Structure 1
Amino acid sequence: MSFQHSTDMWSDFPELAAGVLHVEGIHRGVSVEAHITRFEALARVRLAGGAEGDLPEIQAWRRAFSRMGLKPTQYRSASEALLRRFRKEGTLPKIHPLIDLCNAASLAYAVPVAVFDLARVAGDLKVRPAFGDEIYTTFSGNVELPEPQEVIFVDASGRAHARRWTNRQSGYSAVRDETARVLIVAEALHAGAEADVRRLVDELDTAIRAIWSVTPRTAILTGSAPRFDF
């Protein structure tokens, strides 16, 4: 299996920084509260200076969504949606220890972090413009077809695992109680994104090693080295 962004994506968004972690041995029977508390404290400090829309990481995604022909306040990046909810409610719902950890890291860095259950991904996973005939399954089980040229995460079977790039993941490959093997993807577009994504990947790597006693494989992808094999 492999993960990569298409040549078109690197051409259209040369400022992209992407970090990936492949992790085996995930399970629910762990505590991540200490890590979540630290990440949430960092997010509160950042939000104390203004709303999430003022953060350069979020502004960069809003510009990207506009370039893709999407209204940024209608379709938000996952990190903006999480920060918006966190600012209003002061907390995020608990879903699964790994998702809770990645959501908290996303809050702290204002960077979208996607997590895919690899048991539900067929072959290679790629970020590319849609053809329009890919299958996307919502969390409620409804089936949708992405718009042609919409940026999606898609596997070798033509199943879309995320729509509008970092806007919405699919329920089909969401982490479940039985999930054991995952791919984590963090993407950013702001000035200094590569350094921030490296730090985010390093922090998740350290946390996952400590919590699950496993050894993730990690990589930082670039236009000249866009593919991660695992």
Structure 2
Amino acid sequence: MIPISLHPDLQKDVPTFKIGCIQYEAIVIDSPPKELNGRIELFQKTVELDLSDQPITYYEGVKEWRQVFKQIGTDPTRYRPSHEALFRRLKQGKGLPSSDSSAIVLNNFFSLYYQMPIGLYDLEELQEPIEVRKGEATDEYEGLNGRINHMKDKITNVDPNGAFGSPMVDSKRSAVSSNTKHILQLLYLRPSLSEADARALTDNIGQMFQQVHSGHVKTAVLTKQRPRVH
């Protein structure tokens, strides 16, 4: 597992803050399997039906991450967690972002199903060590949203080359493509999860992703204690 640390300042604001880390090696990214597309379409229709007469905060994971942003010092009405942005697309009838990448499609599905932001990063574009911390004034990156994202006082992932991702949007630098073979997946776990449940969920997501993409998987959960690696 690539060295990853969680800055203690995050847990001063959110004492049960934790990150699930999954590293995949020698995977194969292809078009999403038909069975996966079918399951996602069914789930999408269920969400759209739920949200036809309910607010976005119908989902506990949306409410919880809005609260996390407030505790960190990020305005959740101005900067939205990525899973909330996906729920909003469905409520507005826009559907999920189209993609021919099995990795991205599955990642978006996990993010909605488990109601949390999830980042997906090409490991070959990153250097070690990696740290998850509050952004500083100089932290910024060109995001997949096509904008320069300024990360001061926001949850930010950094490597020796600078910031590359967050629970809001990831960077073009670390974007996963069909040629990507080695991936780092970061689960911005709901703080209400117990450590045991966080480890179980991280392991399960790793196994499900591996079933679609083959390769090898390692998992860890960053908490106040030393990360437990599987």
- Specify the TM-score bucket, using the shorter chain as the normaliser: 0.7 to 0.9
Q: Does residue 161 in structure 1 map to residue 168 in structure 2?
A: no
> What SS does structure 1 have at the residue aligned with 2:131?
strand
Instruction: Report the number of matched residues.
Output: 225
1:52 to 56, 68, 71: 56
Q: Which moves more between the two structures, 83-92 or 181-190?
A: 83-92
2:114 to 100, 106, 109: 109
Counting only pairs closer than 5 Å after superposition, residues 104-143 of structure 1 correspond to structure 2 as 104-139=109-144, 143=148
Contact 1:4–1:125 (CA under 8 A) maintained in structure 2: yes
Contact 1:62–1:72 (CA under 8 A) maintained in structure 2: yes
Instruction: Report what 2:176 is aligned to.
Output: 175
Counting only pairs closer than 5 Å after superposition, residues 20-99 of structure 1 correspond to structure 2 as 20-39=21-40, 41-42=42-43, 44-45=45-46, 48=50, 50-89=54-93, 91-95=95-99, 96-99=101-104
> What SS does structure 2 have at the residue aligned with 1:169?
coil
Contact 1:6–1:126 (CA under 8 A) maintained in structure 2: yes
> 1:116 is aligned with what amino acid?
Y
Contact 1:102–1:204 (CA under 8 A) maintained in structure 2: no
> What SS does structure 1 have at the residue aligned with 2:73?
coil
Tell me by how many angstroms 1:226 deviates: 4.2
Against the structure 1 CA distance between its residues 227 and 196, is the aligned structure 2 distance closer, same or farther, given a 3 Å change threshold?
A: closer
| Separation of aligned partners in 1, 2:78 and 2:139 | 23
Against the structure 1 CA distance between its residues 190 and 59, is the aligned structure 2 distance closer, same or farther, given a 3 Å change threshold?
A: farther
Q: Which moves more between the two structures, 61-70 or 167-176?
A: 61-70
Against the structure 1 CA distance between its residues 199 and 88, is the aligned structure 2 distance closer, same or farther, given a 3 Å change threshold?
A: farther
> 2:154 is aligned with what amino acid?
E
> 2:24 is aligned with what amino acid?
V
Instruction: Report what 1:210 is aligned to.
Output: 211
| Separation of aligned partners in 1, 2:187 and 2:142 | 22
> What SS does structure 1 have at the residue aligned with 2:92?
helix
Root mean square deviation, CA, Å: 2.8
| Separation of aligned partners in 1, 2:18 and 2:150 | 27
Contact 1:19–1:197 (CA under 8 A) maintained in structure 2: yes
Contact 1:36–1:104 (CA under 8 A) maintained in structure 2: no
Tell me by how many angstroms 1:207 deviates: 2.2
1:10-58 deviations in whole A, cap 9, x for unaligned? 2321222321210012333353442354355456546627333222211
| Separation of aligned partners in 1, 2:45 and 2:204 | 18
- Quote the sequence identity (%): 26
Instruction: Report what 2:186 is aligned to.
Output: 185
Q: Which moves more between the two structures, 15-24 or 42-51?
A: 42-51
1:59-104 deviations in whole A, cap 9, x for unaligned? 1111122223332122110111111112333631233210110101
> What SS does structure 2 have at the residue aligned with 1:225?
coil
> 2:151 is aligned with what amino acid?
P
| Separation of aligned partners in 2, 1:202 and 1:227 | 11
Against the structure 1 CA distance between its residues 33 and 11, is the aligned structure 2 distance closer, same or farther, given a 3 Å change threshold?
A: farther
Gap regions ≥5 residues in structure 2: none
